[in-house]
């Protein structure tokens, strides 16, 4: 059930954020329960605390044996995001970066112009960019032209838990870009939302609030992992097409009364 990002094979299709957990112990248990092989880390948050706390956090990630995907959360311009990405490469010794350039404060809607500008410059500098974007087809095309080999469209605004707000748009994005990994990032609130995204043919899900904010984050992490696995299996099984009219599952030919 694994997949590949930038040539790296991952055993799990679930990527997990590390913010807002009740404690480091709960975070560690949630990562293990989810079987996630990648966790995202906000560079600003992890570099802004006390040195001892930062070192403990890094040690915890090392113990979990997960790949770290730094992100540029909170950046509102291409310049800011590029500088944060460069800092992340030094801290985490990775050329992977989850690129966020926020354009609107209330919805945390990505700024498509700043996003493409930052993606182009970071790719030229050797980064492997995973951009947080919307389902907009034009933006997606420009991000691919900028060198992105993965796209991470939202299901709904960050932290809302609303699921897939625009199924039509997400389905169109998948159809227009069948040859690269697409990961739904943001808006997932329930396991059913995650399963629905996977049933559309998406390659993975990135979660944070849905797990960290749950009453039992560890149980929710496990539930999300199962939903993602089930949704992918359902997609690969080839679901029956929808119909406008009923179709009996039992043949009527040969019944005593017709």
Residue 154: give its domain's CATH number: 3.20.20.70
Q: Note whether residue 244 is domain-resident.
A: no
Q: Note whether residue 87 is domain-resident.
A: yes
Could you give the residue numbers annotated as active site? 98
Q: Note whether residue 131 is domain-resident.
A: yes
What is the number of structural domains in the chain? Answer: 1
Q: Note whether residue 111 is domain-resident.
A: yes
**pTM of the predicted model as reported, rounded to 2 decimal places:** 0.89
Residue 221 token pair? 């992490």
Sorted by sequence, the CB contacts under 8 Å of residue 230 that are 6+ apart come out as 195, 198
Average pLDDT score over the chain: 91
Sorted by sequence, the CB contacts under 8 Å of residue 240 that are 6+ apart come out as none
Q: Note whether residue 252 is domain-resident.
A: no
In the three-class reduction of DSSP (H, G, I as helix; E, B as strand; rest coil), residue 241 is classed as coil
Backbone angles phi, psi at 180, to 5 degrees: -130, 155
Write the CA distances from 219 to 2, 22, 29, 129, 197, integer angstroms. Answer: 22, 14, 9, 31, 20
Across the range 5-23, mean pLDDT stands at: 93
Across the range 21-39, mean pLDDT stands at: 93
Inter-residue contact 174 to 183 (CB < 8 Å): no
Q: How far apart are CA 149 and CA 119, in angstroms?
A: 11
186 is in an annotated binding site: yes
* pLDDT at 257 exceeding the cut of 90: no
In the three-class reduction of DSSP (H, G, I as helix; E, B as strand; rest coil), residue 177 is classed as coil
Q: Note whether residue 217 is domain-resident.
A: yes
Identify the domain containing residue 8 by its residue range: 3-237
What is the structure's pLDDT at 1?
59
187 is in an annotated binding site: yes
Q: Encode pLDDT of 57-73 as tens digits.
A: 778 888 888 899 999 99
Q: Note whether residue 50 is domain-resident.
A: yes
Q: How far apart are CA 178 and CA 173, in angstroms?
A: 8
Q: Which DSSP state fits 159?
A: T
Q: How far apart are CA 228 and CA 232, in angstroms?
A: 6
71 is in an annotated binding site: no
Q: Encode pLDDT of 129-163 as tens digits.
A: 999 999 999 999 999 999 999 999 999 999 999 99
Which band of pLDDT confidence, cut at 50, 70 and 90, is reported for residue 247? Answer: confident
CA 108 from chain center: how many Å? Answer: 15
Q: Note whether residue 59 is domain-resident.
A: yes
What is the structure's pLDDT at 248?
79
């Amino acid at each position: 059930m694994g997949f590949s990002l930038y040539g790296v094979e991952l055993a799990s299709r679930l990527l997990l954020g590390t913010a807002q957990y009740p404690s480091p112990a709960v975070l560690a248990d949630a990562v293990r329960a989810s079987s996630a092989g990648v966790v995202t880390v906000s560079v600003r948050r992890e570099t802004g605390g006390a040195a001892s706390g930062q070192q403990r956090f890094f040690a915890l990630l090392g113990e979990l044996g997960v790949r770290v995907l730094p992100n540029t959360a909170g950046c509102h311009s291409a310049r800011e995001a590029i500088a944060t990405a460069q800092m992340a490469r030094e801290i985490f010794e990775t050329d992977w970066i989850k690129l966020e350039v926020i354009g609107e404060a209330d919805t945390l809607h990505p700024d498509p112009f700043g996003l493409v500008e930052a993606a182009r410059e970071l790719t030229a500098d050797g980064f492997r960019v995973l951009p947080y974007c919307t389902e907009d087809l034009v933006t997606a095309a420009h991000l691919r032209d900028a060198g992105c080999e993965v796209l991470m469209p939202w299901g709904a605004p960050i932290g809302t838990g609303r699921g897939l707000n625009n199924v039509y748009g997400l389905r169109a994005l998948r159809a227009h870009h069948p040859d690269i990994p697409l990961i739904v990032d943001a808006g997932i609130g329930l396991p059913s939302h995650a399963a629905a995204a996977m049933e559309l043919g998406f390659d993975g899900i990135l979660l944070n609030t849905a797990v960290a904010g749950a009453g039992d984050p560890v149980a929710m992490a496990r539930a999300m992992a199962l939903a993602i696995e089930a949704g992918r299996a359902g997609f690969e099984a080839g679901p029956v097409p929808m119909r406008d009219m009923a179709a009996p599952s039992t043949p009527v030919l040969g019944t005593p009364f017709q």
